[in-house]
Amino acid sequence: MLGQYPNDVKLVFKNFPLTRIHKSAMNAAIASLAAHQQGKFQEYHAELFKNYSSLSDAKFEEFAQSLGLNMEQFKQDMKNPALAAMVQRDLKDGVEAGVRGTPSIFINGRMLQQRSLPGFKQVIDAELAKKKK
């Protein structure tokens, strides 16, 4: 989808750990940001979702190692209060925006209801048309 709008659409990912449902959700979010510090957010995030039912601190390190991350840096980043604060800020933003679950998708501040490819395209095209006026 992003390839169809290379100069007009920017993807922004925000964390919204569902801690009541997943006890490891907060650490998973921090781990994905730690992986981001080494340029591996997308790959790490994919591992988290593939293995969502068996997440643990040991698994977070296992994923980092399998992706070739610098483990010393990863472990340091997992303890970095700035990354935990970023997750907390994302969570607060999500609550204020009305997020109730994940994934939630917003386009220019509007929550996307129709999450199909045509649904994305329709809303993006409408927003771009507004911008051209």
Q: State residue 35's pLDDT score.
A: 98
Which positions of the chain have pLDDT values less than 70? Answer: none
| Domain locations along the chain | 12-99
What is the Cα–Cα distance from 69 to 65, expressed in whole angstroms? 6
- CATH architecture, domain 12-99: 3-Layer(aba) Sandwich (3.40)
Give me the pLDDT at residue 112, please. 92
pLDDT at 46: 96
Of all helices (H) and strands (E), which one includes residue 108?
none
Task: Give the global pTM.
Answer: 0.87
Q: How many of the other CB atoms lie within 10 Å of CB of 27? A: 21
Query: Judging by beta carbons within 10 Å of its beta carbon (0-12, 13-18, 19+), is residue 102 exposed, middle or buried?
Result: middle
Residue-level pLDDT at 132: 83
Q: Looking at residue 20, what is its pLDDT?
A: 87
- Give 22's contacts (C-beta < 8 A, 6+ positions apart): 28, 52, 55
Q: Which residue has the tokens 């992003």?
A: 2
